[in-house]
Amino acid sequence: MKADNLVIFHPSNKEELEALKAFAKALKIKFEIAKEKEYDKGFVEKIQESRKQVKEGKTVQIDLAEIWKD
Q: How many residues does the chain have?
A: 70
pTM over 0.85: no
Judge whether residue 1 has pLDDT over 70. Answer: no
Each domain of the chain, given as residue ranges in start order, spans: 14-67
Q: Which residue has the higher pLDDT, 1 or 39?
A: 39
DSSP string, 2-70: --S-------SSHHHHHHHHHHHHHTT-----PPPPPPPHHHHHHHHHHHHHHHTT------HHHHT--
Look up residue 17 and give its amino acid: L
Per-residue pLDDT tens for 23-64? 999 999 999 888 877 888 999 999 999 999 999 999 988 888
- Please state the rounded mean pLDDT for residues 63-70: 81
